[in-house]
Chain A
């Protein structure tokens, strides 16, 4: 198919030569760590699956405490392919967050955050935070017992922060308790506020990558690396990877549709053996380490403060790592990165097994 007339029509009105030139000249360095470049593209692909399946689910979901649980059961039992799209949305979110963590740790250990790419790190970090909040808010929409307890704990935890805590807690809950008010609030976050923020930040993030080009690890930057054209070589490779990711997601979604628990009841005891989603396990496990009281202070507050400090330190890491900013080897920060990675992996594993 060759729509020459359409092309001419467009070209007579818009000058796209600069864009074409940029696309034609865009090169991607090839080296032994270039596998990690694909994680970014995978996340964009998975996010688009989330957007499409989410829009479809929104046709039928009812964001009200009395009907939410029932409407999801109807989606998975009565609608054509409803079970599949809900399952795909569920597993898509799991994989998105998984690849976001892989992407984060790859960038961290290869030090791609170093000057001049600090804004990429910041925007990516915020996107990870948004994705986790996406997960939590989407999870509550189920309105089952486990979701109810999970959101109580997560919002209650933010309440332990000094001074601002109670405000954040009340803001998230829409009142003093997790109620139907919380459900509508989280629905608004999940389907309107977070998606818009995601699109904005993701466009910014990808544009910044175009401005800076791909980052090359410190150890390789002196060398003359072979370059591969982005169009069409890398695009084809990207698409091949996406096809594999799509296949894996669809397979998991078909074989393991997520369960729906009993409808949330504020007066029922919390179900036994309750566990948060896997990406909260490292926080969950950290909280369990702290006793109720440390030297007369509230252990929970100390735990939340330490966790917040740890996350904040990771967020501003590009500003702290002076050596790699100057293009020198920065062993200390490699170690810090490994410590973060190991802490995350080990705590998640302990949380999973215990």
Chain B
């Protein structure tokens, strides 16, 4: 069938065809590239298992670091009887904090943030207290877990 009139010229038709093809190709490629460039995220662990001997008997008023995924956890012996496990990462900008035994406080040197011995933010920019973990001792194992997480160890 031959049309006398057409709303679309041959040029417009071809431009649309090639333009559309190019657009589809480019957007598809860009999405694929972006998805490749964006990392597959791991996640923080729900719990870690440590050796109880290494941590339970550290001197009072001191801390010992442990690996909490890629971050640092601190096992803190407040006094003879009280022990706390917490995440040793400042809630402001993710710097590692250090425990200052003489002041009984946690300190973040990046922006001068302070936390008291219970992990509460008391001075400087940190917006939230340090994250406190729960821990249990089972035999020679020390299990440090995120609050409210049920730990099921594989039977061995």
* B-binding residues in A (CB < 8 A): 149, 152-153, 156-157, 167, 170-171, 173-179, 181, 266-274, 284, 287-288, 290-293, 298-300
Contact = CB atoms under 8 A, between A and B. Distances in A.
A300 B127 contact: yes
Interface string B36-80: 011101111000000000000000000001110111100000000
A291 B125 contact: yes
B42 A175 contact: yes
Given A170-B38, A174-B39, A268 B96 contact: yes
B72 A267 contact: yes
The winner among B37, B88, B92, B121 for most chain A CB atoms within 10 A is: B92
The winner among B41, B66, B125 for most chain A CB atoms within 10 A is: B125
Interface bin, chain B: 20 to 34
27 contacts: A152-B94, A153-B93, A156-B94, A157-B93, A170-B39, A171-B37, A171-B39, A173-B39, A176-B41, A176-B42, A177-B69, A181-B39, A267-B66, A267-B67, A267-B96, A268-B96, A269-B97, A269-B98, A270-B108, A270-B109, A271-B109, A284-B111, A288-B112, A298-B127, A300-B92, A300-B93, A300-B125
Nearest to A185: B39
Interface in B101-116: 108-112
Contacts of A268: 65, 72, 96
B124 A292 contact: yes
Contact of A270 (B98, B121, B127, B128): B98
Contacts of A300: 92-93, 125, 127
Nearest to B88: A269
A153 B108 CA distance: 12
Contacts of A179: 70
B47 to A, nearest CB: 17
The winner among B37, B65, B95 for most chain A CB atoms within 10 A is: B95
Given A175-B70, A300-B125, 6 more contacts: A266-B67, A268-B96, A270-B108, A273-B109, A288-B125, A300-B127
Contacts of B37: 171
A177 B89 CA distance: 11
Given A266-B70, A270-B110, A288-B111, A153 B43 contact: no
B41 A292 contact: no
Contacts of B125: 287-288, 290-292, 299-300
Contact of A175 (B39, B98, B109): B39
A277 B126 CA distance: 22
Nearest to B34: A171
A273 B125 CA distance: 16
Contacts of B109: 270-274
B96 A292 contact: no
Contact of A176 (B43, B110, B124, B128): B43
B46 to A, nearest CB: 14
Nearest to A149: B95
Nearest to A151: B94
B60 to A, nearest CB: 19
A284 B121 CA distance: 20
The winner among A171, A176, A299 for most chain B CB atoms within 10 A is: A176
The winner among B43, B88, B93, B98 for most chain A CB atoms within 10 A is: B93
B94 A171 contact: no
Nearest to A166: B41
A170 B110 CA distance: 21
A330 B97 CA distance: 49
Contacts of B88: 269
A177 B108 contact: no
A330 to B, nearest CB: 37
Contacts of A269: 88, 96-98
Contacts of A287: 93, 111, 125
A285 to B, nearest CB: 10
The winner among B41, B111, B126, B127 for most chain A CB atoms within 10 A is: B127
Contacts of A288: 111-112, 124-125
A298 B93 CA distance: 12
